């Protein structure tokens, strides 16, 4: 009888433990709460002298900055098709808005309490100040610059038709910390955090020797009037180019391909080496969303473009998502680090028309994830979710080594120093 009781009781206990684990321990989102982003930035009133908090109002005087902001991913952080699809997958949970539309003015509900830190149990009430049009501005001017009716900025001697105050934090990376250093929660065992770019930032070369902060690359310095009819001064472009911008990623990495044989003959086994260098990013590459990764691809193609042989390697993070989040492996490149990828091929008797293709691609998410978001969660738009960072073709003949040397010499001639590679971004970037 005791044995039968145990048999009947065990499934009930397991079900109870599982229920408790998923409702009281494991977060329903892939990150934990930290006090500064667990709630929206408190309601901000319009500073005296302005008619609105909206970016267009700021753009009346700060026209160039406004036009730059409109091209940025910050301005599209709410409408971004990938965010909208992923947010739908997460049942439109409110906490995601605290970085994608950070101001209380932009959010439909007010969070009064978060019992036991469970975001799904948050006590919410309608927000009387919610402006749906303002929500679409996402990471807008006031998110960083307006507090308590005052415009905060990086200058100590501002003269403006509205209250201003100097904030030394604008001369540091601190403004990026809130949303670019999302941390782990219970039952989440990341190496850094799901979106830990801030924590990844390299301190010895980029910070100590070069004096760089996040803005050095993502908000390049520029000499211009900050506002209409104001004096020329050194400010920053409001661009925030990153992983969604192919040119920015291309600036961050350097690629070189070599063959181990000077003049290979039919029947020879030739080994090719592609070296990928994180030459210009002060953080790991790829960074940000844990779904992002690089692929390094070799293929041999015939005259008709048919693939004879191929090899693909992946650089990114491997994460177990259930029943707990466990980061199993991370082979991303640290700042200034490099990695070699090798591919060997034995040349056939007839090599005429054969060519080696070497390619590096950056992926925002996998093909399978992209298809899932489109079919199940309404992903729309034609935003690229992968793009080529490097692609070259070399003839599989005795000329291959010479061709590779010419290509590498060309790349060396046009490349900049590592600290400059990712920091020269223009407004079209």
> Does 14 reside within a domain?
no
- 4: confidence class by pLDDT, cuts 50, 70, 90: low
Are 199 and 265 within one domain?
no
Do 299 and 307 meet the contact criterion of CB atoms below 8 Å apart?
Answer: yes
What does pLDDT average to over the chain? 89
- The rounded percent of the chain whose pLDDT value lies above 70 is 91
Residue-level pLDDT at 160: 86
More confident residue, 211 or 45: 45
> Are residues 69 and 132 part of one domain?
yes
Assess if residue 43 is contained within a domain.
yes
Using an 8 Å Cβ cutoff, are 325 and 30 in contact? yes
Q: Are 196 and 182 in contact (CB under 8 A)?
A: yes
Quick one: 268 and 332 in the same domain? yes
Most confident of 12-16, 356-360, 409-413: 356-360
pLDDT at residue 425, as a whole number: 37
Rounded CA gap, 356 and 49, in Å? 64
Selection from 172, 191, 174 nearest residue 183 by Cα: 191
Each residue of 393-426: pLDDT tens digit? 988 876 666 666 676 666 665 455 444 454 543 3
Q: Which of 173, 205, 236 is the last residue of a domain?
A: 236
Secondary structure E strands in 37-130 = 109-113, 123-126
Single residue among 182, 209, 236 that ends a domain in this structure: 236
Q: In the predicted model, what is the mean pLDDT of residues 166-185?
A: 93
Residue-level pLDDT at 135: 98
Residue 375 belongs to a domain? yes
7: in domain: no
pLDDT of residue 15: 85
Which tokens belong to 187? 């039952």
Asked if 212 and 116 sit in the same domain, the reply is yes
Own/partner contacts of 244-250, CB < 8 Å, gap of 24 or more, are 244/73, 244/364, 244/383, 245/73, 245/429, 246/362, 246/384, 246/387, 246/388, 246/389, 247/425, 247/429, 248/422, 248/425, 248/429, 249/285, 249/286, 249/362, 249/387, 249/389, 250/389, 250/390
Report yes or no on 426 lying in a domain.
no
Instruction: State the DSSP code for 250.
Output: H
Model confidence at 196: pLDDT above 70: yes
Average pLDDT in the 95-116 region?
A: 96
Q: What is the structure's pLDDT at 419?
A: 43
Same domain, 343 and 403: yes
Where does the pLDDT of residue 8 fall: very low under 50, low under 70, confident under 90, or very high at 90 and above?
low
List, in order, residues 6 or more apart from 229 with CB less than 8 Å away: none
Render pLDDT for 255-287 as a digit per residue (tens, 0 to 9): 999 998 877 888 889 999 999 999 989 999 999
My answer on whether 154 and 215 are in the same domain is yes
Domain boundaries, position 65: 26-236
Same domain (yes/no): 396, 309: yes
| pLDDT score recorded for residue 424 | 44
Query: What does the pLDDT read at residue 422?
Result: 46
Q: Are 194 and 252 members of one domain?
A: no
**427 compared with 364, residue with greater pLDDT:** 364
pLDDT at 428: 32
pLDDT of residue 380: 85
Q: Does residue 47 lie within any of the structural domains?
A: yes
- Of 148, 38, 146, 57, nearest to 97 by C-alpha is 38
Which domain CATH number covers 313?
2.60.40.10
**Strand-strand pairing, 325-330 and 188-189:** parallel
**One domain for residues 221 and 260:** no
The pTM assigned to this predicted structure is: 0.89
348 shares a domain with 214: no
Is the pLDDT reported for residue 30 higher than 90?
A: yes
Asked if residue 313 and residue 178 are part of one domain, the reply reads no
Residue 264 belongs to a domain: yes
Query: What's the confidence (pLDDT) of residue 409?
Result: 66
Q: Is the pLDDT reported for residue 429 higher than 70? A: no
pLDDT in the model for residue 244: 92
**Furthest-apart CA atoms within the chain: distance in Å:** 91
Closest CA to 251 of 422, 95, 380, 107: 422
Which of 68-72, 264-268, 300-304, 412-416 comes out lowest in average pLDDT? 412-416
Using alpha carbons, select from 273, 287, 276, 274 the residue that is nearest to residue 254.
276
Of 236, 264, 290, which residue sits at a domain end? 236
- More confident: 237 or 429: 237
Least confident of 16-25, 204-213, 294-303, 306-315: 204-213
257 within some domain: yes
Alpha-carbon span 25 to 218, nearest angstrom = 37
Count up the domains in the chain and report the number.
2
Say which residue, 318 or 349, is predicted with more confidence: 318
What does R_g of the chain's alpha carbons equal in angstroms?
A: 26
187: left (phi over 0), alpha (psi -120 to 50) or beta: left
Residue 294 and residue 172 share a domain: no
Q: Angle of helix 81-89 relative to helix 367-376, nearest 10 degrees? A: 70
């Amino acid at each position: 009888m005791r044995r039968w009781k145990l048999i009947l009781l065990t499934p009930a206990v397991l079900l109870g433990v599982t229920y408790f684990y998923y409702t009281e321990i494991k977060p329903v989102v892939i990150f934990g709460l930290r006090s500064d982003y667990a709630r929206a930035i408190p309601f901000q009133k319009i500073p005296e002298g302005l008619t609105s908090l909206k970016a267009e109002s700021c753009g009346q005087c700060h026209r160039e900055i406004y036009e730059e902001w409109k091209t940025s991913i910050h301005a599209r952080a709410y409408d971004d098709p990938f965010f909208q699809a992923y947010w739908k997958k997460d049942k439109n949970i409110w906490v995601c808005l605290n970085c994608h539309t950070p101001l209380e003015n932009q959010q439909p509900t007010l969070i009064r309490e978060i019992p036991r830190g469970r975001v799904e149990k948050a006590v919410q009430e309608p927000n009387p100040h919610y402006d749906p049009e303002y929500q679409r501005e996402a990471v807008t001017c006031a998110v960083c610059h307006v507090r308590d009716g005052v415009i905060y900025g990086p200058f100590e001697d501002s003269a403006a038709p509205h209250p201003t105050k100097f904030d030394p934090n604008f001369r540091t990376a601190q403004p990026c910390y809130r949303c670019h250093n999302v941390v782990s929660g219970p039952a989440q065992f990341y190496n850094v955090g799901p979106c830990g770019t801030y924590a990844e930032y390299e301190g010895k070369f980029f910070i100590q020797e070069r004096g760089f902060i996040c803005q050095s690359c993502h908000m390049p310095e520029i000499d211009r009037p900050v506002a209409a009819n104001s004096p020329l001064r050194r400010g920053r472009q409001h661009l925030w180019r990153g992983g969604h911008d192919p040119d920015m990623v291309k600036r961050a990495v350097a690629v070189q391909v070599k063959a181990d044989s000077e003049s290979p003959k039919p029947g020879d086994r030739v080994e090719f080496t592609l070296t990928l260098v994180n030459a210009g990013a002060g953080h790991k590459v790829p960074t940000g969303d844990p779904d992002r990764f690089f692929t390094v691809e070799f293929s041999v193609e015939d005259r008709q473009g048919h693939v004879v042989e191929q090899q693909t390697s992946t650089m990114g993070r491997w994460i177990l998502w259930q029943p707990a989040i466990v980061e199993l492996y991370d082979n991303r490149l640290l700042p200034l680090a490099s990695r070699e990828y090798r591919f060997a091929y034995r040349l056939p008797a007839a090599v005429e028309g054969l060519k080696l293709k070497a390619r590096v691609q950056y992926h925002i998410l996998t093909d399978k994830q992209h298809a899932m978001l489109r079919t199940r969660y309404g992903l729309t738009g034609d935003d690229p979710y992968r793009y080529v960072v490097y692609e070259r073709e070399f003839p599989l003949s005795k000329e291959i080594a010479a061709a590779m040397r010419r290509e590498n010499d060309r790349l060396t001639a046009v490349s900049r120093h590592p600290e400059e590679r990712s920091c020269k971004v223009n407004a079209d970037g």
